[in-house]
Amino acid sequence: MAILPILCYPDPRLHKVAQPVQAVDARVQALVADMLATMYDAHGIGLAATQIDVHERIVVIDVSEERNEPLVLINPEIVWASPEKHVGDEGCLSVPGIYDGVERAAAVHVRALDAQGQSRTLEAEGLLAVCMQHEMDHLMGKVFVEYLSPLKRNRIKTKMLKQQREARE
């Protein structure tokens, strides 16, 4: 398993729309293993393939306290979202150190393939529902800061570009 580099906002590759996975084969399973290793190494609770510059519809999540309940979603789609919404602070491995309020459906049902290629429908609420929606946004080329006001988004963009410049120096 490899730890892969995570793209940082405002990298334009974060805005590419991911393509469906055609087959859950050894290559995809190896990628899933690398994504899980990368997510755990970065102390995240979710990672979309888009964030590692792989533009396929793959998400890994683990919201468990012990960090031992990995969830793999291949070609995920929301089949139901609750009309009830919640605003909660979100962060992102691609926007390190930035947290802000985003409105999301309080509960969702998501259909996806698992790491073995089996179709599953998962019902989620709370943190898991938020994480699923956040990561699936990545697959559509959307980063959570795009839910914020243009002023906040520009401040974050400026801050991220400055941090990236300083890291290269």
Backbone angles phi, psi at 34, to 5 degrees: -65, -40
Does the annotation place 138 within a ligand binding site? Answer: yes
Per-residue pLDDT of the chain (169 residues), as tens digits, is: 899 999 999 999 999 999 999 999 999 999 999 999 999 999 999 999 999 999 999 999 999 999 999 999 999 999 999 999 999 999 999 999 999 999 999 999 999 999 999 999 999 999 999 999 999 999 999 999 999 999 999 999 999 999 999 988 8
92 is in an annotated binding site: yes
- The residues assigned a catalytic role are 135
Q: How far apart are CA 55 and CA 9, in angstroms?
A: 16
Please give the CATH topology (third level) of the domain spanning 12-167: Peptide Deformylase (3.90.45)
Sign of the C-alpha dihedral, residues 49, 115, 65, 111? positive
